[in-house]
Amino acid sequence: LGSEHQAQVMNYLKATDYRLGLLINFGELSLKVKRIVK
């Protein structure tokens, strides 16, 4: 999960009233989840 993906989630959070975003990578062998808080 690159910094551009984290930036995209932050932009989604700024555009909405949500305070928490989940960045999920389904392309790995094991599922990777990153919580992003505004």
CB 2 within 8 A of CB 34: no
**φ, ψ (nearest 5 deg) of residue 29:** -65, -40
CB 3 within 8 A of CB 36: no
What pLDDT sits at residue 34?
95
What pLDDT sits at residue 2?
87
- Report whether pLDDT(1) > 80: no
- Report whether pLDDT(7) > 80: yes
Task: Tell me the pLDDT of the chain averaged across its residues.
Answer: 93
CB 19 within 8 A of CB 13: yes
What pLDDT sits at residue 28?
86
Give the residue from 13, 18, 17, 5 showing the smallest Cα distance to 34: 5
What pLDDT sits at residue 25?
93
